[in-house]
């Protein structure tokens, strides 16, 4: 019995891996569009619920019947007697001449109800710990979900099968609801489940220059460099690298943190306190960011010739420049933190944003 549950749970988890990969990008984009960043705790709870839901559905409905013609045998597929499992357990123990607590906890009827309780415990834990729901709400939600499952089972998966292949049992309804309540009771000790912050705390501050906006500026700068390199410079990539340094370090130092791409995307680079960023800060920002990565790839990598080091450098800079900032409220990468800089909106974009806020 335990082995069959484990195999079914494994099937559900594999389904989560497949479905999770399919919905990862859409959900991430939706999350980012709503909050201006991907809030880690919300993302963790969301994917945890997705994994739990798919595993639970697999345990409830799998395996599907292989021979549909054998379903409609006239057996009673609806049990409306509360705690019928207690009678079944006693009859089972009597049939085998067993007694005592040990025999009781090993009986299939007891293990089935224990499983039904355990199945809904995570739901109660998440509803209280992550979303702050009270006991009545948890009981109501657990009862509603369990009732929906029993209805689907009794109707042969909403008519997909001519007859039900799982018994719709009032004891399952009681056990599932009790499991949700038990999860609510033990939720305070569930340290792995984070509390989901409210939307105001989840969102990036108004006027934050997001990672996609900075990517647009970076791509625009790269296009300028490519055009200049194609039309003017020798074919040696180090010349293009020099133009990139001029465009990303020297020009911002002269133009108050502005690059061509930054002007197009509507932001400039400033010191953390909002003052003008000096050339040293701009240089550190670029050395630890994209310009440093391209310098390594163009100049150092051919000399060192170590593929593993190349992968480490590329992965590290990409991670702290573009990936980790997505989860942070201020959207600043580690290269910006080390340099003491941040991107700020241009006046025209701040004015437009203020007008939008007033209209809403």
The pLDDT, as a whole number, for residue 358 is: 42
Please state, in angstroms and rounded to a whole number, the distance separating the CA atoms of residues 130 and 13: 22
Q: Check whether 76 has a pLDDT greater than 80.
A: no
Would you list the domain boundaries of the chain?
1-63, 77-203, 211-359
Eight-class DSSP state of 319 = I
Q: Where are the alpha helices (DSSP H) in the chain?
A: 2-35, 40-61, 84-95, 101-106, 108-129, 135-154, 156-159, 170-186, 199-202, 211-231, 237-245, 251-254, 260-265, 279-287, 290-295, 301-304, 307-318, 334-339, 347-359
Q: Check whether 40 has a pLDDT greater than 90.
A: no
On average, the pLDDT of the chain sits at: 84
Q: Check whether 192 has a pLDDT greater than 70.
A: yes
Mean pLDDT value of segment 78-91: 83
Please state, in angstroms and rounded to a whole number, the distance separating the CA atoms of residues 271 and 339: 8
Mean pLDDT value of segment 145-172: 87
pTM: 0.73
Mean pLDDT value of segment 201-207: 83
Please give the full DSSP string across 278-303, using - where no structure is assigned: PHHHHHHHHHTSHHHHHHIIIIIHHH
């Amino acid at each position: 019995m335990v082995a069959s549950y484990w195999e079914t749970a494994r099937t559900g988890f594999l389904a989560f891996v497949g479905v999770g990969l399919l919905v990862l990008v859409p959900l991430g984009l939706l999350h980012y569009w709503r909050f201006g960043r991907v809030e880690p705790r919300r993302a963790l709870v969301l994917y945890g619920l997705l994994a739990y839901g798919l595993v639970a559905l697999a345990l409830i409905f799998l395996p599907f019947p292989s021979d549909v013609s054998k379903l409609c045998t006239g057996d009673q597929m609806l049990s409306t007697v509360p705690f019928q499992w207690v009678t079944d357990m006693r009859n089972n123990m009597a049939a085998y001449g067993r007694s005592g607590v040990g025999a009781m906890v090993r009986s299939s009827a007891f293990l089935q109800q224990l499983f039904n309780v355990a199945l809904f415990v995570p739901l109660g834990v998440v509803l209280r710990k992550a979303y702050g729901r009270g006991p009545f709400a948890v009981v109501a939600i657990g009862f509603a979900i369990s009732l929906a499952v029993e209805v689907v089972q009794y109707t042969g998966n909403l008519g997909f099968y001519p007859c039900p292949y799982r018994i719709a049992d009032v004891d399952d309804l009681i056990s599932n609801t009790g499991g949700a309540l038990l999860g609510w009771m033990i939720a305070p000790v569930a340290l792995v489940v984070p509390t989901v912050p409210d939307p105001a705390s989840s969102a990036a501050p108004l006027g934050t220059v997001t990672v996609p906006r900075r990517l647009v500026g970076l791509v625009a700068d790269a296009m300028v460099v490519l055009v200049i390199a194609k039309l003017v410079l020798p074919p040696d990539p180090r010349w293009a690298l020099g133009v990139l340094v001029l465009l990303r370090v020297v020009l911002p130092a002269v133009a108050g943190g502005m690059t061509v791409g930054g002007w197009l995307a509507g932001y400039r680079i400033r010191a953390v306190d909002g003052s003008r960023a000096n050339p040293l800060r701009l240089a550190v920002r670029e050395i630890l960011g994209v310009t440093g990565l391209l310098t390594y790839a163009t100049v150092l990598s051919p000399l060192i010739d170590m593929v593993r080091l190349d992968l480490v450098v590329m992965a590290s800079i990409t991670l702290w420049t573009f990936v980790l900032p997505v989860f942070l409220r201020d959207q600043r990468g580690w290269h910006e933190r080390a340099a003491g800089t941040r991107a700020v909106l241009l006046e025209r974009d701040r004015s437009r944003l203020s007008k939008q806020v007033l209209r809403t």
